[in-house]
Structure 1
Amino acid sequence: MSVINDAVLLESRSLRASVVEQTDALDRVKVLSLLPDGMHVTTAMVAAYFQVGIKAIRSLVLDHRDELEASGYRVLTGTELSSFKELSGIQSRTRTLALFSRRTVLNVAMLLRDSEVARQVRTYLLDREYEARTQPVDNCVHSEPESLDERIDRRITHILGKTVVPMFNALIETSGEQHKELISLRDDVKRIERKLRDHHHRLRRLEQAWGPRPYTGIMASIDAMNWREFEHHVAVLLRRDGCTGIVVHGGPGDRGVDVTALTADGRSVVVQCKSFAPYRPVWSGELQKFLGAAKVQHQADVALFVATTSFTPDARAIAETHGVTVVDRGHLEKWSAGVPLPILQAD
């Protein structure tokens, strides 16, 4: 329960500016998918995050462009757009590209009225602001900082449990005509106490679900890619790890592989890329099919099977037996974050 109504963020630009750096609020509510550069999102991605139409985002930009530009919004054209596409691996024929930084997306959350996700972001910001303002100032030295759990429990126990409710109990015992009204008011106080406790538990769940992660946002951006974008993302990673002669073959007629390349020491590389949902593993039959293409048709020195998901035990056994390197979701996240793939390094 926000003590300050979230409408204040909708109306006050100065208040929005004061919290626009708190971009972690976005991922506390819902994971924000990023472009391969790990820094920006497109208009369509912003609309998807807030579960609204693209027109709603474009209309908001039209009404608040100067504010959004101050928080990082920009439109790329010409050579700047070409350079960005090349560096980020984006495949698009558009002549302009609107980019939103994380700060800009948070700014949108504080302006967008007809979005439940945006409302939840504003509520989270205001809840945290309220906690910061109401935390007692204590100059004593503690061995450990007081937790959010302890602060909320103390406020509820001492203010509601030990003061307000007993006061109502005493009044009810001596009341006459106002007996029913006092009982009703006491019940209202108890409902507020329950809501505060529920709110506290919700915050704790959010904090546990979105605790610090070394590669926050990387897999979310990869999950947002289509199959062709994912293949080009893998090509970028191969190039970063020193490979040359990289060719993306994906689509009909690819002879069972999606990308081919040469390592820095001259070994041939073939890659199969599978952009699957995390709950759908790679099966043994799919591994066997790639094995035939990699070893028989292409006679590859290095066979990579890169997937956005896991591999079944049977698929892993086949890969280990026949020398196929599997890059599952966890390894893909680290590889995308800059950790080199050992198999591609020179001996």
Structure 2
Amino acid sequence: MLDEIVLLESSSLRASVAERDEVLDRVKELALSPDGLHATTKDVAAYFEVSEPVIRAVIHDHRSELQSNGYRVLSGEELSCFKQLCGIQSRSRSIGIFSRRAVLNTAMLLRDSIVARQVRTYLLDSERRQAIEPVDNLIHRLKEWIDTRITDALARHPAAPDDAEAARIAEDIVRTTIGTAVVPVLNTAIRNDGDQRARIEALEDEVTRLQRILREREAGSMGALDAMNARQFEQHIAWLCRRDGCDPVTVAGGRGDTGADIVAYTPDGRRVVVQCRARTAAATITSGDVRQFIGMAKLDHRADIALLVATCPFTRDALLLAARHDMTAVHRGLLEAWNGGVKLQAFRH
């Protein structure tokens, strides 16, 4: 059975339900361009109630997967025709457009959108209902069909047949039916069953791999954090913020994030701005890194709490600069404690 966490993590499982785009309409209306087939990045952001930079970050991280489901970037003459059709006045030299499948694909990638979560819920519920619905009873339907054939054959007989003759007619019809209809159907079912078993085994292997990754994350080991890519690290830090009571928590890492990978709010309303640095343990965060983040967090994002979270140590000068400017330096040692369940001092009243 599909699980939301596994769906978010596994591209092969997302591909298995990529055609179920009808679930989009069950949540809310999706605005499409006048051709009735595509939505722009602005339309997709409005549907999921997130900013356009968030959608662009999803595109940046999962471009090939989205393209396989119908995401395209228009340019040149094709773009001119699209602008004319849609009445778009923008002078942009390219525009990204999403098919409905690509929009559904986006819903399976967006972690911090309430609308995306609702789409995933409808999708998973639909899959569960489909799994428990009874399959058509082939034998029952075949029996009805044979009975009809026998009745028709007896009705066409020139004289009322005796029991022996009726039995012979019925036997001939059954033999013919088995040879021409049942055997080919069973052969096809056997082949399909083999294909389905292979597909199920592949999916089970994928689920097992993802469960192992999830167990490592839940174990809170620094090794698990070191194994994450930048996007996974941002998502994990966002989870730690939620665990400690922040809500809402928005992950905006990627192009256009202006240095704020995560924006969150504490229960008492303070604005938290987080920058994540997934680096090797041998690297360091310098005073230059801290100075750049302080200016961005305090001036551009009006942060009440500024967190610079890194998987590596900070230099002495970087720690002193952070302390002077009331910025929390979540260095490798503090990150290990936070990841292990210790609440950051900055989040306490």
Do the two structures share a fold, i.e. TM-score over 0.5? no
With CA pairs under 8 Å and 6+ residues apart, which has the higher RCO, 1 or 2? Answer: 1
Larger Rg: 2
